[in-house]
Structures are given as structure tokens and as C-alpha cells.
Amino acid sequence: MNRYLDIAPEVREALAAGRPVVALESTIISHGMPYPQNVETALRVEETIREGGAVPATIAIIGGRLKAGLSKSEIEHLGKKGRAVAKASRRDLPVLVAKGEDGATTVTTTMIIAAMAGIRVFATGGIGGVHRGAETSMDISADLEELAHTPVMVICAGAKSILDLGLTLEYLETKGVPVIGYGTEELPAFYTRSSGFKVDYRLDSPEELAAAFRAKLEMGLEGGMLVTNPIPEEYSMDPERIGAAIQEALAEADAKGIHGKETTPFLLARIKDITGGDSLAANIQLVLNNARLAAATAKCLAEN
């Protein structure tokens, strides 16, 4: 057992008994949404996992401890502290732990801590990827490298639509990461159901997802699997409207010199403002949709 890792009692008992567990990230709490919607959404997502027959394990760093499973008070703590909490990627873990500080986990660090705890399925909103203009900025999310190395299935609504989705898919192909479309042959684009880019494979049931990931694990193949689950039709945003909002937000970020780990939180906040809050409502619904699929898939994976 990793001496820096604390597994919540409910999560520990479920893992020991072979029951399904789903990991959840905490950056969405501290950096993805304003308070109190962030806390309300986090608790609602946990409840959705429970309704689906699995145990939720929200992951974070609290007081220098790696946490697999948070209490309501710890979720409230992260939500109120907001962006004052460090956004923790792989490079940040040693210093945050050594200094006894808090950290909100990205897709990357949620995968790392989930794997340490023995959790195989992780539900999130959207992954990071290759940023627009990366040919000059070299701004590529660490999420892609983690997917190449860490054995966790990540269920998301595609890569965030603020990214260069074509280059993100090319990068994942180079790294040998299977990109699965759940019920679709096209990559979802976070706020919208399709980006126009093809995924590697279409699978249509949690049973198929679990079988594919089980085969990957049993063959000893390195890395994870990316499952892209389109936002429900009734919550999908108009592509032209969200595209215009993204372009406006990108121009503002460039004018203000915002880069690195601050880029995505800034863009998501500005897109929310530009769309009058509609993008936040869509974000919440796609996360809940991913949680439902993750719970069903974790149950199938636990059955064998």
C-alpha cells in the first residue's frame, strides 16, 4: 500500500469485496464550476453513481494526503476554496504531498491515484488534449500521456471543444490509446454530440466496454482506454453558437497572455459567461450522463 494514500472506508470495503467503484475528479469542483454549483454537482454525481449500483470515489489531495474517496465536508472544503486550491497534475504531486497542501486532481492525477487504489473506471466531463496552436506553443495536456501509461478506463464526453480535436486523436493514436465511441462512430465534442472526427471503434453496451477493457488488462497492454459518450441530445448545444463563444474566449485568453494550466479554467468560465450560463448547464448534464455509464460499466467489469 502506498503510504501517502488514504482510501475511504466505503471505497476500501467495496474494493476488497470486488464490488464496482467509480473514480471522480476534483478539478471540476475547484476549477470547473462556481460555488455552490460545484459542490451540488459533485454530490449529485456521487449520488448518480450510487443509483447505478457502484460506489463513488472522488479523488483529491487534502493536507498532503492522496485521497480515494472524499467526505461531504472535504468536498465542501474544495468547493469553497475554489481556485485557491492547486490544480494538481503529475508534476505537482511530490511537492504538494511534501508540503502538506491541498490539490484538486485533473484527469491525469485522478488516473494515477485511482490506479494506486485499484480503481479501474473513472468518469469525468472531458479530457484535455492538444491545444489549438500547439505547433508553436507545444501546449499538450498531460492527460494524453497518462492515458498512454496508466491502466484506467476514462469515460468522458470527448475532448474539450476548446482543443484541436483532430490533433488530439492523432496523438492518442500514436500513443496506442483505444478511443471508443459509445453508441457513435464520431468523436463527441463536449458541448455537442459530434466533432466530425471518427473514433477507433463503436461499442454499444456497458458489457462490450467492460469486455474490451478486461481483455486489454489481461493481455498486459500498457495504458488506459478512452470511452467517449455523447452529451444527451436534449442538452447538446448549437455547434455554431458554442463555436463562436469558444473563438471569443480564445481571443481573450490570447490577449491576456493566459497559458498553461490556467487556460482551461479561464476558457470554461468565459464560455459560461458568453453563453449566459447555458454551457454550465450542459457541462453538468454531460458529467451526470458519464457517471451513469461509468457505474454500469464498473458493474459489468466487477462481474467477472
Would you please indicate which residues are annotated as catalytic (active-site) residues? 25, 160
Q: Which residues contact 195 (CB under 8 A, 6 or more apart)?
A: 158, 161, 165, 186, 187, 188, 189
Where helices occur in 88-225 by DSSP H, the ranges are 93-99, 107-117, 134-137, 142-149, 165-174, 206-218
Beta bridge partners of 220: none
User: Looking at this protein, which amino acid is placed at residue 248?
Assistant: E
Number of H helices, E strands in the chain: 13, 11
Q: Do residues 253 and 121 lie in contact, with contact meaning Cβ atoms separated by under 8 Å?
A: no
Phi, psi for residue 132 in degrees, rounded to 5: -60, 135
* DSSP letter string, 88-119: E-GGGHHHHHHHT--EEE-HHHHHHHHHHHT-
Contacts of 13 (CB under 8 A, 6+ apart): none
Cell 508534476 appears where? 91
23/84 Cα distance (integer angstroms): 23
**Residues 32, 278: contact at Cβ < 8 Å?**
no
| Length in residues, the chain | 304
Burial 100-126 (b: 16+ CB within 10 A, else e): ebbbbbbbbbbbbbbbbbebbbbbbbb
Residue keyed to cell 464496482: 20
